[in-house]
């Protein structure tokens, strides 16, 4: 199995920066590309900026959309396949020195998946903005945000995510097929034959996000594809993705992706 050293990642590395105990790397992947089974020398966070991919880690298979976040410990084997669109991710590596210091202080970070929309995702969005700035304060801001990210990660509760039961997989598939529609939790629960409260709890435990957050993930990924590949006005993109109006779409998009839809479209088309 391939083992990658510090700063080494699959895909096309477009930018890399070492700041104190962290290495930030932006990498791009062509549609349908495959990442063979491998592991990394450093532990790292991976933040999806654009596109999407499915990762297999042991017996688990997780789908990542824009603003989804995961943590992989040093030496943890995994492989992935990129979805049907150009994909871009930000990796934040933690030095072995800092990892050992965390262990000495009895602080650990568990592998996490699909932390879309939470505090950690917002920290990563801010990290990404600072990563692309050239002013003299950027390094200081990056170190502070990265340390805050690590601190927040050590506070995350541990969730053991096993194989989802058939009814829960059915619920997830139903959401994927109808994400742009005004789905109700009661409606989904009725289709799979469970109580809405039980569905909400089980979904969060197994997939790491609430039903509502998962719907927003899917809507944001759909909107990203439209922004990259078409010339539809923002209002039309918002409605097609399931948002109430352009204003609501822009607000949610900026929260998840870290920039407005207009800026995102300009950025990806100029890159």
Strand partners for 82: 53
Of 173, 39, 161, 45, the closest CA to residue 99 belongs to 45
- Position 145 confidence tier, pLDDT thresholds 50, 70, 90: very high
Higher-confidence residue of 143 and 86: namely: 143
| 69-72 vs 12-19, strand pairing mode | unpaired
Of 198, 202, 211, 115, the closest CA to residue 155 belongs to 115
Task: Return the pLDDT at 270.
Answer: 64
- Position 90 confidence tier, pLDDT thresholds 50, 70, 90: very high
N- to C-terminal Cα distance for the chain? 33
Least confident of 55-69, 163-177, 208-222, 228-242: 55-69
Higher-confidence residue of 121 and 185: namely: 185
Of 198, 147, 143, the closest CA to residue 18 belongs to 143
- Position 160 confidence tier, pLDDT thresholds 50, 70, 90: very low
Task: Return the pLDDT at 225.
Answer: 77
Task: Return the pLDDT at 112.
Answer: 54
Using an 8 Å Cβ cutoff, are 161 and 113 in contact? Answer: yes
Higher-confidence residue of 236 and 64: namely: 236
C-alpha dist (Å) from residue 266 to 80, 116, 224, 234, 260: 28, 23, 12, 13, 10
Percent of the chain past pLDDT 90, that is, above it, reads 43
Reply yes or no on whether the pLDDT at 217 is more than 90.
no
What kind and span of H or E run contains 25? Answer: strand 22-29
Q: Report the C-alpha gap between 97 and 235 in whole angstroms.
A: 48
| Helices H / strands E in the chain, number of each | 10, 10
Task: Return the pLDDT at 116.
Answer: 47
Of 131, 123, 138, 114, the closest CA to residue 211 belongs to 114
Higher-confidence residue of 217 and 18: namely: 18
Higher-confidence residue of 46 and 61: namely: 46
Q: Report the C-alpha gap between 127 and 145 in whole angstroms.
A: 6
- Position 113 confidence tier, pLDDT thresholds 50, 70, 90: very low
Reply yes or no on whether the pLDDT at 238 is more than 50.
yes
The whole-number average pLDDT for the span 214-231 is 82
């Amino acid at each position: 199995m391939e083992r990658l050293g510090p700063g080494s990642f699959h895909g096309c590395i477009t930018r890399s920066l070492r700041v104190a105990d962290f290495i930030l790397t932006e990498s791009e992947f062509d549609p349908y590309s495959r990442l063979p089974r491998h592991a990394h020398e450093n532990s790292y966070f991976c933040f999806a900026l654009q596109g999407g991919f499915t990762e297999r880690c042991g017996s688990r298979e997780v789908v990542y959309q824009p603003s989804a976040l995961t943590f992989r410990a040093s030496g943890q084997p995994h492989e992935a396949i990129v979805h049907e669109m150009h994909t871009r991710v930000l990796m934040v590596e933690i030095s072995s020195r800092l990892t050992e210091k965390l262990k000495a202080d009895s602080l650990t970070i568990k592998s996490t998946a699909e932390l879309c929309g939470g505090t950690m995702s917002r920290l990563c969005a801010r990290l990404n903005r600072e990563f692309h700035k050239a002013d003299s304060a950027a390094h200081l801001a990056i170190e502070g945000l990265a340390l805050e990210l690590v601190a927040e990660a050590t506070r995350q509760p541990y969730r053991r995510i096993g194989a989802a039961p058939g009814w829960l997989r059915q619920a997830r598939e139903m959401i994927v097929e109808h994400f742009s529609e005004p789905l109700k939790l009661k409606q989904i629960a009725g289709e799979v034959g469970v109580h809405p409260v039980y569905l909400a709890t089980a979904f969060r435990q197994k997939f790491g996000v609430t039903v509502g957050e998962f719907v927003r993930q899917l809507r944001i990924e759909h909107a990203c594809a439209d922004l990259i590949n078409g010339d539809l006005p923002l209002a039309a993109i918002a409605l097609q993705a399931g948002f109430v109006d352009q204003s609501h779409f822009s607000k949610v998009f900026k929260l998840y992706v870290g920039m407005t839809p207009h800026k995102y479209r300009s950025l990806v088309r100029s890159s």
